[in-house]
Amino acid sequence: MEDLRKILAEHPFFKELKEEYLALIVGCASNVRTDAGKIVFREGEEANQFYLIRSGRVVIQLMTPNKGPVVIETLDEGDILGWSWLVPPYIRHFDAKAVELTRMIALDGKCLRNKCENDHHLGYELLKRFSEIMIKRLESTRFQLLDIYGDRS
């Protein structure tokens, strides 16, 4: 547990989070590993966890009828995977697949959701941090949609 606390405390995502909140989050954390090629979660599943990637790589992908799985983004060491646990209806919107042996810290979103309902300061702190991730992913997606490399001659 002390190891987990140290890792979480040093991660930029949890930077400057109050000690009491960090302790709460550590209580919801566990180490997990996923082998290369294994699915971490699938579209349509209940979203009750999110992950902090410690090593390895995970792709976020979407199954398409004609092309098969299309990779949207690759996440690796230090990245946060999954934010659907925070927003109703708490359902995964994409598949996540480990492309190499991946070690992560899994955080129990269901447990954290309840804690956030009871402590809005904690809820606001987490929402702020996840908003940053969501905005960054939205920006990336917009960038991808622009197809900018098609224009330069």
Partner 1 sequence: MATAPDLQSLKVDYKRNPMLPWPFHIKRVKHETEDTFTVELQPSGDLAEFSFQPGQFNMVYVYGVGEIPISISGDPANAKILVHTTRAVGTVTKAMDKLVRGDILGIRGPYGTPWPIEKSSGQDVVFVAGGIGLAPLRPALYEVVAHREKYGKVVLLYGTRTPADVLFREELEGWRARFDLEIYVTVDRAMSGWRGNVGVVTNLISRAPFDPRNTQAFVCGPEIMMRFTAMELHKRGVSNEHIYVSLERNMKCAIGLCGHCQFGPVFVCKDGPVFQYNQIKDMLVRWEI
The contact set with partner 1 (CB under 8 A) reads 59, 61, 67-74, 76-78, 97, 99, 136, 139-140, 143-144, 146-153
C-alpha to C-alpha distance for 130 and 10, rounded to whole angstroms: 17
Question: What is the Cα 151 distance to its own chain's centre?
Answer: 33
CB of 12 to partner 1, least distance (A): 9
C-alpha to C-alpha distance for 129 and 89, rounded to whole angstroms: 20
CB of 121 to partner 1, least distance (A): 27
CB of 1 to partner 1, least distance (A): 27
Q: Between residues 16 and 147, which has the closer beta carbon with respect to partner 1? A: 147
Q: Between residues 26 and 51, which has the closer beta carbon with respect to partner 1? A: 51
Q: Between residues 16 and 148, which has the closer beta carbon with respect to partner 1? A: 148
C-alpha to C-alpha distance for 69 and 124, rounded to whole angstroms: 35
Q: Between residues 10 and 147, which has the closer beta carbon with respect to partner 1? A: 147
β pairing state of 57-64 and 95-98:
antiparallel
The number of C-alpha atoms within 13 Å of 10 and in the hemisphere containing its C-beta is 8
CB of 80 to partner 1, least distance (A): 13
CB of 112 to partner 1, least distance (A): 25
Question: What is the Cα 123 distance to its own chain's centre?
Answer: 16
Question: From the DSSP assignment, how many helices (H) and strands (E) are in the chain?
Answer: 4, 8
Q: Between residues 46 and 73, which has the closer beta carbon with respect to partner 1? A: 73
